[in-house]
Structures are given as structure tokens and as C-alpha cells.
């Protein structure tokens, strides 16, 4: 934001409001003539300068100026590289692996990936946010195998760009991967009558 005044203000304040929200989304006391504001969500905004000179004379801007922030286009969906779509993980797989490694192509400018794992009934099994730098270095490995059982599962991954305070600035399109776990069902354990134990 840029503004100016013929007279030097004794007090000044820049106020930015978003349509539909009464509380200002940005406010700064005695700002410089060039103000760098934080990132704003998409929507309609107004801004004004409220100022006065010595003696209390009001020299505020005569009207509120308006501007629009357009929605940011979403990141493209990721492409899974591991496991393969509809891959079946069977007993031989789990004999060699105590985890499931997931991999996808990195998305430029993404800072995080939201990873969600669902069962066949669309019940959430596991959810986490992965830092993009860590993913590109080590990938992502799901180690809590005890949460899984025989059946179908779905993984969803969404690229995100988050600001320093964690607020999501740009989302991506969600990618979905289906895989199955095919392990023998547990058989019911039966016991034999122990008879009379020694000492009884």
C-alpha cells in the first residue's frame, strides 16, 4: 500500500477490511508511506488511512479504496510412484517389510503434504502433515502396521503451501491411491483339556 499527505500527520493508521468481516484483517499505527501487508485470502477488501495533524484536525482519506484478491489456482495433483495403483500387499510382502513406503512426485513450491489413510468404509485410519523438505529427502514410510487389517485401503495426498504461522495459503488437488492387503484371516485358537495338574 502507498499513500501520502501534504501535511505531516501527528497520528495515522492504515486499516484494511474484508467484505463481510467487521474486524479489520490488517491494521498498523503510524505506518510508513509504503506498507507491506501480509498475504490475504481471496475476497473483496477496502482500505483507508485515518490520520490527524497537530491540533486534532482530521486529514483521513475521504473514502475507502477497494481491491479484490483472486483465488490462487490449486497445485496439480501428485502422481504416486509407490505403491502401484490397486497393488496387493500379501503375506510375502509383510514377511520382508514391517512398513509401507509411499512415494509421489514432489510439487514445486509446496511446503507440506497432507497425507490421509482410509479403510474401505471411508473411516480415517491415519492422518499427518509432511514437511516437503523431509519428504523429498526421506520419502514417507507408514510404520503403524497394527492399524491395518485385511481389506481395501485408500491414500489421499494434497500438496499445500503454508505461511510461516502455518496458515494454508495455497491448496492442491487431492490425489487418491487404492491398495489392498491380503493376509490370511486369523484362525480361532482352541485349547485342549489340561486334565488334573500335578499337585492338585
Q: What is the DSSP string of 89-149?
A: EEHHHHHH-SSEEEEEPPPTT--EEEEEEEETT--EEEEEEEEHHHHHHH-EEE--GGG--
Task: Describe the strand order of the beta sheet including 140-142 as a list of residue ranges.
Answer: 80-82, 100-104, 140-142
pLDDT at position 194, please?
61
pLDDT at position 101, please?
94
Q: What is the DSSP string of 155-182?
A: EEEEEEEE-TTS-EEEEB--EEEEEEEE
pLDDT digit string (tens) for 32-71? Answer: 999 999 888 889 999 999 999 988 899 999 999 999 999 8
pLDDT at 138 over 90: no
How far apart CA 3 and CA 51 sit, in angstroms, is 12
State the pLDDT confidence band at 136, using cuts at 50, 70 and 90: confident
pTM of the predicted protein model: 0.67
Q: Is 159 left (phi over 0), alpha (psi -120 to 50) or beta?
A: beta
Q: For all residues of the chain together, what is the average pLDDT? A: 90
State the pLDDT confidence band at 84, using cuts at 50, 70 and 90: very high
**Distance from the first to the final alpha carbon of the chain:** 92
pLDDT at position 165, please?
77
pLDDT at position 173, please?
97
State the pLDDT confidence band at 199, using cuts at 50, 70 and 90: low
Residue 115 CB neighbour total at 10 angstroms: 19
pLDDT at position 137, please?
79
How far apart CA 174 and CA 107 sit, in angstroms, is 12
Can you tell me whether residue 52 is helix, strand or coil? strand
Q: Residue 42: which residues within 8 A CB-CB, separation 6 or more?
A: 69, 70, 71, 72
pLDDT at 111 over 90: yes
Which residue is associated with the grid cell 486334565?
Answer: 195
pLDDT at position 76, please?
96
The residue with greater pLDDT, 55 or 192, is 55
pLDDT at position 107, please?
95
Amino acid at each position: 500500500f502507498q499513500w501520502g499527505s501534504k501535511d505531516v500527520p501527528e497520528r495515522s493508521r492504515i486499516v484494511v477490511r474484508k467484505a463481510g468481516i467487521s474486524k479489520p484483517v490488517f491494521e498498523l499505527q503510524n505506518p510508513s508511506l509504503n506498507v507491506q501487508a501480509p498475504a490475504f485470502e481471496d475476497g473483496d477488501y477496502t482500505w483507508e488511512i485515518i490520520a490527524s495533524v497537530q491540533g486534532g484536525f482530521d486529514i483521513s482519506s475521504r473514502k475507502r479504496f477497494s481491491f479484490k484478491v483472486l483465488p490462487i489456482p490449486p497445485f496439480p495433483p501428485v502422481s504416486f510412484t509407490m505403491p502401484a495403483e490397486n497393488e496387493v500387499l500379501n503375506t510375502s510382502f509383510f514377511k520382508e517389510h514391517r512398513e509401507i513406503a509411499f512415494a509421489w512426485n514432489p510439487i514445486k513450491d509446496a511446503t507440506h503434504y497432507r497425507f490421509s489413510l482410509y479403510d474401505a468404509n471411508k473411516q480415517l485410519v491415519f492422518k499427518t502433515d509432511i514437511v516437503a523438505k523431509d519428504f523429498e529427502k526421506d520419502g514417507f514410510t507408514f510404520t503403524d502396521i497394527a492399524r491395518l487389517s485385511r481389506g481395501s485401503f485408500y491414500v489421499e495426498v494434497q500438496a499445500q503451501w503454508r505461511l510461516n504461522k502455518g496458515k494454508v495459503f495455497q491448496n492442491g488437488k487431492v490425489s487418491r491411491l487404492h491398495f489392498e492387503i491380503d493376509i490370511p484371516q486369523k484362525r480361532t485358537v482352541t485349547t485342549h483339556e489340561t486334565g488334573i495338574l500335578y499337585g492338585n
